[in-house]
Structure formats: C-alpha cells, structure tokens
Amino acid sequence: MDCLAGKPIKHLQVSSADTSMIEQVGISGAFAKDFISWAGMPERYGTTAMELRHLRYFVAVAEEGSLTLAAEKRLHTAQPSLSRQIRDLEYEVGVQLMTRSVHGIELTTAGRAFLDHARLALTQAEAATEAARRAAQPPRALFAIGFLTGYEMDWLPAVMEILHAELPNTEVVIHSQDSPDLAAGLIRGKIDLAFLRPEKQARGLKFKLLRKDPLIVLMPRDHALAARSSIRLQDIAGQTFIGVSPVRAPTLWAVINDYIKPVGVKPDHQAENLAMAISLVASTGGISLLPLYAQNLLPKTVISRPIQGAPPMVDWSSAITKRTLRHS
C-alpha cells in the first residue's frame, strides 16, 4: 500500500504502454511506482481542465513547503482535498511537480519551472480582473499636473488642496520632470497644467510668471569658501565649476552663463539634472549655481551660500496650452 495525503490507496496496474509513457514524461525509478497511469484513472481525470484554483493551490503549497500549512494557513481547506487538487494538476500537466521528503514538500525540476509560470498567470489574471472592473465603472476625469523637479516639495500640498476643492471627482496625476519635458507634455495633451521655466521654443503655450528665484552658490561643507557668509562673482573664478545642461535646463543655463561670462568662468562639468549637480559638487569638490529651492534637497555634505549683492534671478511660471484656454 502507498499513501497519499495520509490515506492508503491501492496500487493500480501499470501496463507496459503506461510504463513507456511514464518514461517519456521523465518519471522513472522510484517515482514510477507512485505515478498513476492514465489507464487506471477514473474518467474524470481525463477530462479535468486546469483552472486558476489549481494554480493557486500549487503556488501555496510550493511557498509553504507543506500541504498541511498551505491547507490551513493559506487556503482554508482540508488537506485531503488539497492533495487531490494537486494530483489533478499533475495529471493535467503530465509530469510530477512535487515530491514528499523528510523536509516536507519539495518541487521537482519540472515543478520549479512550472512555479514561475503559475505565478505569472495568477498575476495576469488579477490584472485582467481589475481592468474589467475599472472598465465597468463610470469613467473618471483625469487632471495631469507637472512640476519642475524639486518644486513639488514646496508647492504640491497647496496645489492639491485647491484641486481637491475645485475638482473633487477628478483623479489627479502628478509628473515631476525637466522644463522641456513638461512643455512637451503640455503640447501633446498629456499634461493639463505645469509649473516650469518659460520655454521660448514651446509655441502654443501660455505662461504666467509666478515668481523670480535667486541663484545661490552650492559647495562642499569643507570648501575654502564655506567660511564666508556670501560669495562674490570673482570668488567663483578659478574654482571647479559645475554647470547645467543647455538642453535639459535652457532657461537656467542662459541665466548662469550670462552671470559667469564676465569673469571668464567655464563649466568643468555639466549636470543633466538637479540631483546630478548636487552629486558632482559633493564628489568633485567644485561649486555650482542653482535656484534657491535646491537648498531643500542638499545632503549634509553640501551647503549653500547667497550671492553677494544683487543675485541673478530665474523665472518660474505656470503654463497651460492656448488650446485649453479656448475651451475653458
């Protein structure tokens, strides 16, 4: 007598044809005697189709490493019923997926391969269910808002409060990008409102100046200029200078370039974004000019100092498309 799920079962007769089929699916030796032949199976085994519940049961047993734990903790079903479901699944697949050992349930090579696909199938089934439920719901209006990276820390709470009051049934989507990308999103209709630098090349957008931000000087905490309370333009000359990208930040690049040109300063490095600029300041020991809001994002190793005298200013604006104005 052999045991399955703790209960004895009678040996079934295995014909030579069945033995050949067993060898073809890779079950031989000690496992062959435990494999139930097609000839001896009740008819229902030949017609049982694989269902999502079979996959859920299999994944639960594989992850728990125990039929008992999977049945009681995960599936809330009886162990004999779970054993029967796993046996049905193995018959449907045509190979042995699990074996018993002193350590509990272990996956065969075929079982390990099957597990990855079973998990994926369950994930896709859940996604399909969610998509169907969303499709059946009344459509919900979307409002996409974009921020120049870094500014959302100061402005997002106030903006969200206004949007929730004015558009209570609208789902708000937030974008954090460079000004050129925000302008492109507005033009393509992917963003409804953006807070960004004025982009001269962005035709079809309506900009409204919100404020002018002064530039500040960033430097490592142990820099020679760190002892000063403010930095003069001539102090920047001769220092390793971290510039910004004329492509990713054209407006800011123009303001910085106009300011440093009189003393002959040229960038030694060019940062593609704010995070990169701060990282280069910390790693190279250089200095950089960035808008005031950058001081909210500085690590402990980097400090900021104001520019002595009248600092250069950079515009910060809101923008919508002229198309939106015509339809509002």
pLDDT (tens digit per residue) in 275-319: 999 999 999 999 999 999 898 889 999 999 999 999 999 998 988
Phi, psi values for residue 304, rounded to 5°:
-130, 150
Distance (Å, rounded) from C-alpha 281 to C-alpha 209? 30
Q: With bands split at pLDDT 50, 70 and 90, how would you rate the model's confidence at 6?
A: very low
- The answer to whether 172 touches 143, Cβ cutoff 8 Å, is yes
pLDDT of 181 > 80? The answer is yes
pLDDT of 257 > 90? The answer is yes
**Which CATH class name applies to 213-313?**
alpha beta
Q: With bands split at pLDDT 50, 70 and 90, how would you rate the model's confidence at 19?
A: very low
Residue scoring higher pLDDT (275 or 199)? 275
**Which CATH class name applies to 2-134?**
mainly alpha
For residue 18, the model assigns a pLDDT of 44
Q: What is the mean pLDDT of residues 268-272?
A: 94
For residue 50, the model assigns a pLDDT of 84
For residue 25, the model assigns a pLDDT of 39
Q: What is the mean pLDDT of residues 244-260?
A: 93
Q: With bands split at pLDDT 50, 70 and 90, how would you rate the model's confidence at 323?
A: low
Which range among 18-32, 65-79, 313-327 shows the weakest confidence by mean pLDDT? 18-32
CATH 3.40.190.10 residue ranges of the chain are 142-208+318-327, 213-313
Which range among 153-162, 206-215, 238-247 shows the weakest confidence by mean pLDDT? 153-162
**Which CATH class name applies to 142-208+318-327?**
alpha beta
Residue scoring higher pLDDT (129 or 202)? 129
